[in-house]
């Protein structure tokens, strides 16, 4: 019977860090191998809305909820759905009080988790090159620094292209048919006041006929932009050639030629580089047979398109459930089985919702289905629907 003496975590994203923090609170030591050289090694990414029953619950388990409140924005909950003419079909205005879904900049959240861990837990600048089972049932990790380590309990929290996943499953992420071209606007209130007004304090989605402009207000006066285009991977990559920002901007303006001038201005005014981000997903319902001493969490387990807004929330919730299970059960494999029993069905449901939302967002002329869904959701959660008459 293996016990959780030391847990090896591959990946110091939100899920891996939250697990390390929660286990630390339970007196279980961890080592986190993280490919990035430091917190500032790459752009942190955009803003995340954390749900009460998932992301926020995990931060309570991590003992970091109050700290989270101090870096979150309630105004970030505001969500607008527009058509290509710029007509608003859904607008959840800021209602005040503790948010249903407060937003936080991903970089701030990751920093908070890193700062909550003792020195030395995170081994920065170490890429796990491969993970293999040894004859005694443990796992051997080959690291980019030329060494190998043996793990009794291994958690793959290493995202979309997980090196731990092949120990459990043959599944690989598949391109969804949609690519985001990412850009941003800075100092928006002073320099881009019309864009700031159009986007508002939270998120704005303008969707029409296989195309979308998604804008999210971040901290520090930044609006992050995603120009979503449908097309096969090669086309989308050539379309978003990051060495030719002016060319990509011109192609976007052509593609969004029938969008309202205010929406097209987001393309004209966007700051580069315009980075293509193909949206990939693991098969909906991805799962594996129980394998001694190894499991996955977050995107490594259930990568899905961002159209359900749940990936980071689920990574955090996985960490909370796995941490609690490892603390509760002295037999590691009982703990891993208990975690997977709750994780598989909820990941299945979220993966289904995300795949369906992607189709609804890009395969219909108007975002009607999304508006209906959003109204139903808000009616349930807040008692008002966010419609124009509210």
Give contact residues for ligand FAD (rule: CB under 6 A).
10-16, 33-36, 48-49, 127-128, 157-159, 163, 180, 226, 277, 298-300, 306, 309-313, 315
Distance in angstroms (rounded) separating the CA atoms of residues 110 and 15: 10
Tell me whether residue 212 or residue 293 sits nearer to ligand FAD (CB atom): 212
Q: How far is the CB of 253 from ligand FAD (least distance, A)?
A: 22
Distance in angstroms (rounded) separating the CA atoms of residues 334 and 153: 12
Distance in angstroms (rounded) separating the CA atoms of residues 267 and 128: 38
Q: Are 374 and 90 in contact (CB under 8 A)?
A: yes
Tell me whether residue 148 or residue 191 sits nearer to ligand FAD (CB atom): 148
Q: How far is the CB of 31 from ligand FAD (least distance, A)?
A: 12
Tell me whether residue 15 or residue 107 sits nearer to ligand FAD (CB atom): 15
Q: How far is the CB of 101 from ligand FAD (least distance, A)?
A: 9
Query: Of 98, 42, 45, which is closest to residue 72 (Cα–Cα)?
Result: 98
Both tokens assigned to 97: 């009080």
Please tell me the total number of residues recorded for the chain in this structure: 390
Tell me whether residue 33 or residue 239 sits nearer to ligand FAD (CB atom): 33
Q: Are 28 and 130 in contact (CB under 8 A)?
A: no
Both tokens assigned to 129: 């090159």
42 labeled binding residue: yes
Tell me whether residue 159 or residue 276 sits nearer to ligand FAD (CB atom): 159
106 labeled binding residue: yes
- Let me know if 11 is exposed, middle or buried by CB neighbors in 10 A (0-12, 13-18, 19+): buried
Q: How far is the CB of 331 from ligand FAD (least distance, A)?
A: 25
Q: How far is the CB of 8 from ligand FAD (least distance, A)?
A: 11
Question: Crossing angle for the helix pair 106-115 and 14-25, nearest 10 degrees?
Answer: 30
Distance in angstroms (rounded) separating the CA atoms of residues 65 and 307: 25
Distance in angstroms (rounded) separating the CA atoms of residues 54 and 28: 22
Q: How far is the CB of 353 from ligand FAD (least distance, A)?
A: 12
Tell me whether residue 128 or residue 196 sits nearer to ligand FAD (CB atom): 128
Distance in angstroms (rounded) separating the CA atoms of residues 71 and 103: 9
Tell me whether residue 354 or residue 385 sits nearer to ligand FAD (CB atom): 354
> Beta strand 139-143 with 128-133: parallel, antiparallel or unpaired?
antiparallel
Q: How far is the CB of 300 from ligand FAD (least distance, A)?
A: 6
Distance in angstroms (rounded) separating the CA atoms of residues 93 and 97: 13
Distance in angstroms (rounded) separating the CA atoms of residues 57 and 324: 12
356 labeled binding residue: no
> Beta strand 6-10 with 153-156: parallel, antiparallel or unpaired?
parallel
Annotated binding-site residue numbers for FAD: 106, 299
Annotated binding-site residue numbers: 42, 106, 299
Annotated binding-site residue numbers for NADPH: 42
């Amino acid at each position: 019977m293996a016990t959780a003496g030391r847990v090896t975590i591959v990946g110091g994203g939100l899920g891996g860090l939250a697990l390390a923090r929660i286990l630390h609170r339970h007196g279980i030591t961890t080592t986190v191998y993280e490919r990035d050289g430091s917190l500032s090694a790459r752009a942190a990414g955009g803003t995340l809305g954390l749900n009460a029953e998932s992301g926020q619950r995990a931060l309570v388990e991590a003992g970091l909820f109050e700290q989270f409140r101090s870096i979150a924005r309630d105004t970030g909950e505001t969500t607008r759905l527009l058509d290509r003419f710029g007509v608003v079909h859904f607008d959840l205005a800021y209602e005040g009080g503790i948010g249903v879904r407060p937003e936080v900049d991903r970089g701030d959240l990751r920093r908070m988790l890193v700062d909550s861990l003792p020195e030395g837990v995170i081994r920065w600048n170490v890429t796990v090159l491969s993970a293999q089972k040894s004859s005694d049932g443990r796992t051997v990790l080959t690291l980019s620094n030329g060494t190998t380590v043996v793990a009794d309990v291994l958690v793959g929290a290493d995202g979309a292209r997980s090196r731990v996943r092949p120990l459990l499953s043959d599944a690989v992420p598949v391109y969804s048919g949609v690519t985001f071209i990412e850009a941003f606007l800075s100092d928006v209130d002073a320099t881009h006041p019309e864009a700031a007004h159009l986007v508002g304090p939270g998120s704005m989605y303008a969707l029409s006929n296989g195309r979308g402009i998604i804008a999210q207000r971040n901290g520090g006066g930044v609006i992050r932009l995603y120009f979503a285009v449908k097309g096969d991977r090669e086309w989308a990559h050539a379309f978003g050639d990051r060495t030719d920002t002016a060319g990509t901007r011109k192609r976007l303006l052509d593609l969004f030629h029938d969008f309202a001038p205010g929406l097209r201005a987001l393309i004209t005014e966007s700051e580069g580089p315009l980075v293509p981000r193909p949206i990939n997903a693991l098969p909906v319902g991805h799962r594996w047979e129980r394998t001694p001493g190894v499991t996955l969490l977050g995107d490594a387990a259930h990568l899905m398109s961002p159209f359900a807004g749940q990936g980071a929330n689920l990574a955090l919730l996985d960490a909370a459930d796995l941490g609690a299970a490892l603390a509760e059960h002295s037999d590691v494999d009982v703990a891993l089985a208990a975690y997977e029993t709750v994780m598989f069905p909820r990941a299945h449901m979220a993966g289904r919702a995300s795949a369906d939302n992607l189709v609804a967002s890009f395969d219909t002329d108007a975002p009607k289905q999304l508006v209906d869904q959003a109204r139903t959701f808000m009616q349930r959660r807040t008692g008002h629907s966010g419609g124009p008459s509210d």
